[in-house]
Amino acid sequence: MGLILKGKPVREKILEELKSREERVLGVLRCGRDPGADWYLKGIEKAAEKTGDNIIPVSMKSDGDIVDAIEQIDNLKRMVHGILLLKPFPENIDMDRMIREVGPDKDVEGIHPENLGRLLLGNPTSIPTTPGAVLEMLKFYQIETEGKHCVIVGRSEVVGKPLALLLLLKNVWDATVTVCHSRTENLEEITRSADILIVSIGRPGFIKRRHVREGAVVIDVGINEAENGIVGDVDFDDVKDITGAITPVPGGVGSITSALILKNLHSL
């Protein structure tokens, strides 16, 4: 069986490194209650306890609109080093507008257009958190990317696309990158040519043994609710024997993202 790439030691190492730095303040804006958001915020709070950073949570009224949201963001901006927009927000609230209001200098999620533009130009500052978590995983377990074929399945704005740009960074990751999506032909053929296969599609257990080359590293970004609990996009039991290394779900990439929020907070 391949090496199991657990996220916890990666997370601990990131937090340990941040501990020695001057403390920072993170503002978290949310609207109403959501179990997923509660769980994510708890993870960030626990991480901040370890690093000594402070969190200012602000809740908007559940029937709040974009005017309220902008007012809250403007208030927060004066008090904090970075702002997290904790989803979900009501549909009537324009998320793009909110992100622009947060601005590039307070963008701990690495999703402001200016920060994404910097990433495209090869000079990222705030790194999108889930792609950042994948890279931290590769770094921690010393998985070589230079010249390797990294196949990413999924082209979302939050994971697949920014991850492809990061892995292409010259003199940093230097990978050869292929991005696949729902219209890709011969998906199996392409995924089987991967040295490193990264999957972010939101389909429980979609990637099977037939998609994976023997000895490949498999990184599963998927978080899906199934009958038997949270599962990834990779059928872990079907695939694990032939991989060189594989991330579990839960306990893999997802456990690192909250640490990345704080890492970005310290880099702004």
Interacting residues toward ligand NAP by CB under 6 A:
130, 153-156, 158-160, 180-184, 187, 200-203, 221-224, 253-254, 257
Distance CA 200, CA 168 (A): 18
* Closer residue to ligand NAP (CB): 72 or 255: 255
Burial environment of residue 78 by CB neighbours within 10 A (0 to 12, 13 to 18, 19 or more): exposed
Q: What is the DSSP letter of 253?
A: G
| Shortest distance in whole angstroms from residue 223 CB to ligand NAP | 4
CB 232, min distance to ligand NAP, A: 8
Provide, rounded to whole angstroms, the least separation between the CB of residue 65 and ligand NAP: 25
How near is the Cβ of 78 to ligand NAP at its closest, in Å? Answer: 30
Q: How far is the CB of 104 from ligand NAP (least distance, A)?
A: 21
Which segments within the chain are labelled E, that is strand? 3-4, 25-31, 54-60, 82-85, 149-153, 176-180, 196-199, 217-220, 224-226, 229-231, 245-246
Measured in degrees and rounded to the nearest 5, phi and psi for residue 264 equal -65, -40
User: Is 182 or 193 the residue whose CB approaches ligand NAP more closely?
Assistant: 182
Q: Would you give the DSSP letter of residue 23?
A: P
Nearer to ligand NAP, 76 or 201 (CB): 201
- Between 51 and 258, whose beta carbon lies closer to ligand NAP? 258
Q: Which is nearer to ligand NAP, 182 or 241 (CB)?
A: 182
How far apart CA 246 and CA 249 sit, in angstroms, is: 10
4 φ/ψ sector (left φ>0, alpha ψ -120 to 50, else beta)? beta
Choice between 18 and 207, CB closer to ligand NAP: 207
Question: Mapping DSSP to helix (H, G, I), strand (E, B) and coil, where does residue 199 land?
Answer: strand
Give the shortest CB-254-to-ligand NAP separation in angstroms.
4
